[in-house]
Chains A and B, each alone.
Chain A
Amino acid sequence: QKEVEQNSGPLSVPEGAIASLNCTYSDRGSQSFFWYRQYSGKSPELIMFIYSNGDKEDGRFTAQLNKASQYVSLLIRDSQPSDSATYLCAVTRVGNEKLTFGTGTRLTIIP
């Protein structure tokens, strides 16, 4: 079982709709959860991080964490073509700084 799992996609969403990206993790010691966006040929760019159960909103982005279910998600409201990218879920565990990444979900916003 991979430590961090994501559906590789591609996920196609119409412009203006809500894109929902999901991530599960296997290590119950995971402490911090991150979403990075990576455009083709570029480096990962931090979108959001979340530490506590529940929702965290930042503009059009909402991160949701459910530690009991070992599940973290990213919602993108009012999707724009510029949101088309690969979204990487990453986790760290207590006492360990390294980011463990999922393989990423490729999102395409259809105009």
Chain B
Amino acid sequence: KAGVTQTPRYLIKTRGQQVTLSCSPISGHRSVSWYQQTPGQGLQFLFEYFSETQRNKGNFPGRFSGRQFSNSRSEMNVSTLELGDSALYLCASSKAPQETQYFGPGTRLLVL
């Protein structure tokens, strides 16, 4: 069974731009969560989607948003990029909420 896939794998943007990251969960998984990993803050939860609904949101500004489609694929968007948004963005999928989460390879975003 294929794992979680994320596109693109690497991205370079400049301050003020916006970016959209994509995540395709493991087949049969309906819950998708997003995390940001930085050397200073570690892994931090962004938001979680199940059945196209955001169930949970972390402590990030409104510039960070996401959505989930009917096929369980998810996207996250960051608007007005700041230098501090440079990070590894990880998507994790699970069969349902509160079940074990499996991570994708991540998208490494560099903001210049």
In the complex the two chains form, is A98's CB within 8 Å of B43's CB? no
Q: Among the listed stretches B63-71, B79-87, B97-105, which one makes contact with chain A, having 4 or more residues with CB under 8 Å of it? A: B97-105
Known contacts A98-B48, A99-B35; A43/B43 CB under 8 A? no
Q: Bound state CA distance, A45 and B31, in angstroms?
A: 18
Q: Bound state CA distance, A96 and B48, in angstroms?
A: 10
B66–chain A nearest beta-carbon distance, Å: 13
Interface residues in A, total, Cβ within 8 A: 22
| Chain B interface residue number, banded | 20 to 34
Determine which of B43, B94, B97 lies in contact with A44 in the assembled complex, contact meaning CB atoms within 8 Å: B43
Mask, B32-52, CB within 8 Å of A = 1, is 010100000011110010000
In the complex the two chains form, is B103's CB within 8 Å of A88's CB? no
Contacts from B to A (Cβ < 8 Å) = 31, 33, 35, 42-45, 48, 55-56, 58, 88, 90, 92, 94, 97-98, 100-106
19 interchain pairs (CB within 8 A)? A34-B100, A42-B105, A43-B103, A43-B106, A44-B43, A46-B100, A46-B101, A46-B102, A46-B103, A96-B56, A97-B33, A97-B48, A97-B94, A97-B97, A98-B45, A99-B33, A99-B43, A101-B43, A103-B42
